[in-house]
Amino acid sequence: MNILLVDDEPALRELLRVTFESTEVTVEEAGSAREAEDRIRARRPDVIVLDVAMPGMPGTHLCRRLKAAPETRGIPIVLLTGSDLDDIHAGADAVVRKPFSPLELLALVERLTAAGPLSPIARPRPAAPEEEEELLLYARDLRHLLGVERRQRALLERSYLDTVTALATALEWKDTGTHDHSRRVVRYALELLAAVEPGYAARERGLEYGFLLHDVGKLAIPDEILLKSSPLTAGERAQMEQHTLLGEEILGGVELLRGAGLDVVRSHHERWDGAGYPDALRGHETPLGARVFAVADTLDAMTSDRPYRRALTWDDAREEIFAQSGRQFDPVVVEAFHDAEPMLLEAYREAAAA
């Protein structure tokens, strides 16, 4: 849609332009009736929003001229006026009295282009000065737009999370023949992280996606290695260990994952003592999210059946994690396991029951 805004006040044109451009339409501006005629000749607009009180030729005069000409009479015209609506008789398709709500004007324009002429919009005369009411209307509309944007963003993120979860589930079926690992390990990691540093997960928006997709690089590992039930050879293990780098490469272009999310994908097999991979990071060189996730991932791996062994009991897995404090795992994260264990155990039991 191409809209022509005609008003001699640059500030009002700017406000209206911003309002209309939020709908991704093309907006052209004119500061006078003469300039508007030039723009109409150069490019026929779909709608004209025209102020009545302009120096030189009034908007009502221009409206009558446009409605009288065969080549322009079909263009919907909305007049903006500070006078009573009954005083306006210029053949316009709709009349809006100032001050007005930009969102209401936008809705009117959309209806005009879809359904033809409508009855004028009436608004009672404001008790407050026009300038103040105009600001209040814009503030109300801004509040509404922010609410809409937040809801749309939440829906988009929910959809994105559902898609990521489906991808993680498909990978799990290929890797382990189950579909519960990602759900459990994400919950373990979030519970542990809340015990280590409250609020960290909320600040790092991509972290949960990194937890879900930590093993996405295994999509590039051959099945004969990924599904092998006997011990891997040295060459096979070296190839398997590439999955962290492959995962980072696969997800590197996803804006939401950049930062803490990608850190988890690349570094969740690093060890506190520096004997992990792919970078042999030591201690706090490994990002916090990856250090926490290493414990969560190991906990779930030990308490789940795998092709090459039966699951350990919860107590056995807990003792092994405690034994690896300061070696495989960050001692602070292992200490947090003590505080978070009731929540972790509840998640484990809920998953087992399901």
- Mean pLDDT lowest among 66-75, 110-119, 306-315, 322-331: 110-119
Contact status, residue 304 vs residue 314, Cβ threshold 8 Å? no
* Highest mean predicted confidence (pLDDT) among 46-60, 77-91, 104-118: 46-60
Query: In angstroms, rounded to a whole number, what is the distance separating the alpha carbons of residues 234 and 335?
Result: 34
At 3-38, the pLDDT tens digits run: 899 988 887 787 777 766 655 678 899 999 999 999
pLDDT at 160: 67
Confidence of residue 179 (pLDDT cuts 50, 70, 90): low
pLDDT tens digits, one per residue of 306-346: 766 788 999 999 999 999 999 999 999 999 999 999 999 99
Does residue 49 carry a pLDDT above 70? yes
Question: For the segment 239-276, what is each residue's pLDDT rounded down to a tens digit?
Answer: 999 999 999 998 888 777 788 999 999 999 999 999 99
Give the pLDDT mean for 227-247: 91
Q: What's the gap between Cα 67 and its chain centre?
A: 45
Task: Pick the more confident residue, 324 or 85.
Answer: 324
What is the per-residue pLDDT for 125?
41
* Burial zone of 246 (CB within 10 Å; 0-12 exposed, 13-18 middle, 19+ buried): middle
Q: Is the dihedral of CA 292, 293, 299, 302 positive or negative?
A: negative
Is residue 247 a contact partner of residue 269, using CB atoms and an 8 Å limit? no
Closest CA to 8 of 37, 39, 46, 36: 36
> Which is more confidently placed, 114 or 319?
319
The more confident residue out of 244 and 52 is 244
For 247-255, which contacts have Cβ atoms below 8 Å and span 24 or more sequence positions? 247/213, 247/214, 247/215, 247/216, 247/217, 247/218, 248/217, 249/217, 250/216, 250/217, 250/219, 250/220, 251/213, 251/216, 254/209
What is the chain's mean pLDDT, rounded?
Answer: 82
* 140-149, 218-227, 318-327: range with highest mean pLDDT: 318-327
CB atoms within 10 A of CB 59: 27
SS3 354: coil
The answer to whether residue 124 scores a pLDDT higher than 90 is no
> What is the C-alpha separation between 185 and 174, in angstroms, rounded?
17
Domains of the chain with CATH codes: 2-125 (3.40.50.2300), 171-353 (1.10.3210.10)
Distances, alpha carbon 108 to alpha carbons 17, 22, 55, 268, 275, in Å: 15, 15, 26, 54, 66
E strands, the chain, are 2-6, 26-30, 47-51, 77-81, 94-97
pTM metric for this prediction: 0.57
